[in-house]
Amino acid sequence: MQVGDLSLEWSATDARRFLARVKLLEVSPGWQGHDSPLRAVDFRPLRELLEQSVAAGDPRNNRERPTTLLDVVHAMRHRHSFDPRDKIYAMMGLTHPAEVASFVTDYTGTWEETYRRFFDFVSRRLMENPDGAWNPAQELED
């Protein structure tokens, strides 16, 4: 990327990891609060640039990249439900079962507690696998 006299380069792997962190930031509890000043920050241009970079650097360009738990959470971040906890548990049904098998459905906590627990779960999954793709072989080893 060229910005004036400054030139920036990154690999597809770097772009994928940076994109995952931008998405994680956008779904973080600090950004999701209704009164959070961070909600006004628009990462869409950067996110779109990174998505294009990932697509261009992916040797599987002709095939669709597998959807990750973070992709689902990010895509659904502005959706609403009568009980906000239902939104979290519904998202779990949109991903590979092995990806969310260790997250227990529990309606005894508040919405905020449930969201924090889910965010921490998604964050841990991302840190375990920075590229974000679900790896069946990894599940078999655990």
| pLDDT tier, 136 (very low <50, low <70, confident <90, very high otherwise) | very low
- For residue 42, being part of any structural domain is answered with yes
- For residue 41, being part of any structural domain is answered with yes
Residues 57 and 51: their CA atoms lie apart, in Å, by 10
- For residue 2, being part of any structural domain is answered with no
Residue 138 confidence (pLDDT): 45
- Segment 107-127 shows an average pLDDT of 90
- For residue 45, being part of any structural domain is answered with yes
Residues 69 and 102: their CA atoms lie apart, in Å, by 13
- For residue 130, being part of any structural domain is answered with yes
More confident residue, 32 or 23: 23
Specify whether the CB–CB gap between 1 and 49 falls below 8 A.
yes
User: What are 38's two structure tokens?
Assistant: 């961070």
- For residue 4, being part of any structural domain is answered with no
Whether this model's pTM surpasses 0.75: no
Residue 56 confidence (pLDDT): 80
- For residue 116, being part of any structural domain is answered with yes
| pLDDT tier, 132 (very low <50, low <70, confident <90, very high otherwise) | low
Residue 91 confidence (pLDDT): 87
- Is the pLDDT at 18 greater than 50? The verdict is yes
Q: Is 122 helix (H, G, I), strand (E, B) or coil?
A: helix
- Segment 75-88 shows an average pLDDT of 88
Dump strand ranges (E) for 56-117: none
Q: Is 137 helix (H, G, I), strand (E, B) or coil?
A: helix
Phi, psi dihedral angles at 50 (to 5 degrees):
-65, -40
- Is the pLDDT at 61 greater than 80? The verdict is no
Residue 116 confidence (pLDDT): 92
Which long-range CB contacts under 8 A does 80-87 form with residues at least 24 apart? 83/111, 84/111, 84/114, 84/115, 85/109, 85/111, 85/114
- Segment 18-31 shows an average pLDDT of 87
More confident residue, 121 or 135: 121
Residues 120 and 24: their CA atoms lie apart, in Å, by 10
Q: How many helices (H) and strands (E) does the chain have?
A: 8, 2
Domain of 66? Answer: 9-141
- Report the domain count for the chain: 1
| pLDDT tier, 137 (very low <50, low <70, confident <90, very high otherwise) | very low
